[in-house]
Amino acid sequence: MKALLALLLGVSVFSATAQTYPARSVRMLVGFPPGGGTDIMARVLAPQLQQQLGQPFVVENRPGATTNIASDLAAKAAPDGYTLLFTTSALAINMSLYKNLPFDALRDFTPISVFAESPNLLVAHTSAGANVKELVDQAKAKPGAMNYSSAGAGTSQHMAGELFKVRTGSSITHVPYKGTAASLTAVIAGEVHFSFANVPAIIGHVRNNRLRALAVAGPKRSDLMPDVPTMQEAGVSGVEVPVWYALLGPANLPRDVVKTLNDATVRAARSPELRQKLADQGAEAVGNSPEEFGKLLREEVAKWAEIVRVSGAKAE
């Protein structure tokens, strides 16, 4: 009888805790520096969660090791909902690109929801050709002379570049930077010839003619840049590298906390105001269930394992 009463008391305390979540501020770890697409998307979502749940959701940039530092911190955090991870496809990519990671993307996290997704675009310095064909011709004319930047080894931008090399049969050098902002600055300055980056990070540079958008690495054109062809339309097949932005917690996050966070994220993603705000950034709102996100994550880990194998990509 005493054991039963203790069990019931524990359930009661747990339920009360879940019902009051969040009772204090929540950290949202982002594995990139400020200014990139992931940081932008996190700062779009955080105020919405704060407004709905009544506590601050604080975006904390913890860059390094292509998001692995932030991911490891989140994986090792207490499963109470007060430390979350806002991340991208890099979480799935790194499973194959890095050896001996201190965490497992499928074992050590609780999927909450994919907030939004966006295609990557091939963007180039104004001297690197007016279209994809010219860029490829230049690369083939001088093997190894051209280079491209990324936000770091293991990012979707890196993978897009490696796929581009394989599909075009060209020899191009990868130059990783610490974040998307630094990567794009290098292209603008002419330090590298081109890059792949997500729409939220590049749209301002394209509109101000600092970068030239050559192709969308996705199945359809961007509504914000309807004149920019897809990679397939530009003559290069097999280079479709979308990026998703998603919220996760540590493994064993209580079910009621997951539901609270998922409900709030889905409401935010599906609100007309936020959908338009995301569209203005070149992103598309998603807002799916934890089960749907979990299935996507498993599929992504398998997909990127094959792409890393085929491309021979390395974590520099």
Q: What is the pLDDT of residues 210-230, one digit of tens each?
A: 999 999 998 889 888 899 999
Sign of the dihedral defined by the CA atoms of residues 156, 174, 146, 142, in that order: negative
CATH architecture for the domain at 119-217: 3-Layer(aba) Sandwich (3.40)
C-alpha–C-alpha distance, residues 192 and 186, integer Å: 6
Cβ atoms < 10 Å from Cβ of 314: 12
Residues 57-66: tens digit of each pLDDT: 999 999 988 8
**Structure-model confidence comparison of residues 182 and 127, the more confident one:** 182
Mean pLDDT of 200-218: 90
Query: Does the pLDDT value for residue 8 go beyond 60?
Result: no
The secondary structure of residue 229, as a DSSP letter, is P
Question: Residue 229: CA atoms inside 13 Å, Cβ hemisphere, count?
Answer: 12
Q: Using a pLDDT cut of 70, give the percent of the chain over it.
A: 94
pLDDT at 130: 84
Is 270 a residue whose pLDDT tops 70? yes
CB 184 within 8 Å of CB 197: yes
Looking at every residue in the chain, the average pLDDT score rounds to 90
Instruction: Tell me which residue of 36, 281, 284, 301 sits closest to 149, measured CA to CA.
Output: 36
Q: Bridge partners of 250?
A: 109
- pLDDT reading at 16 higher than 80: no
Instruction: Report residue 107 as tokens.
Output: 């074992």
The residues of the chain that CATH labels 3.40.190.150 are 24-117+243-311
Q: Which amino acid is it at 11?
A: V
Structure tokens that stand for 94 in this block: 């790194």
* pLDDT score at 280: 86
Position 13 confidence tier, pLDDT thresholds 50, 70, 90 = very low
* Of 249, 299, 267, residue with least CA distance to 115: 267
Contact 57, 40 (CB under 8 A): no
Contacts of 225 (CB under 8 A, 6+ apart): 121, 203, 206, 213, 216, 282
As a CATH number, domain 24-117+243-311 is: 3.40.190.150
Question: What is the DSSP secondary structure assignment for residue 222, as one 8-state letter?
Answer: B
pLDDT of residue 66: 83
Express each pLDDT in 156-189 by its tens digit: 889 899 889 989 999 999 999 988 889 999 999 9
Residue 259, classed as helix, strand or coil, is helix
pLDDT tens digit sequence for 67-79: 999 999 999 999 9
| Span 223-269, pLDDT tens digits | 888 999 999 999 999 898 888 999 999 999 999 999 999 999 999 99
Mean pLDDT across the stretch 202-214? 91
**131 Cβ contact list (under 8 Å, min separation 6):** 214, 234
**Predicted pLDDT of residue 316:** 65
C-alpha angle with apex 222: 235 to 173, nearest 5 degrees? 50
So what's the pLDDT on residue 4?
44
- Would you state the pLDDT for residue 9? 41
Domain with CATH 3.40.190.10 in the chain: 119-217
Say what the pLDDT of residue 53 is.
Answer: 98
Beta strands in 177-239 (DSSP E): 194-198, 212-217
Question: Which token pair is 6?
Answer: 């203790």
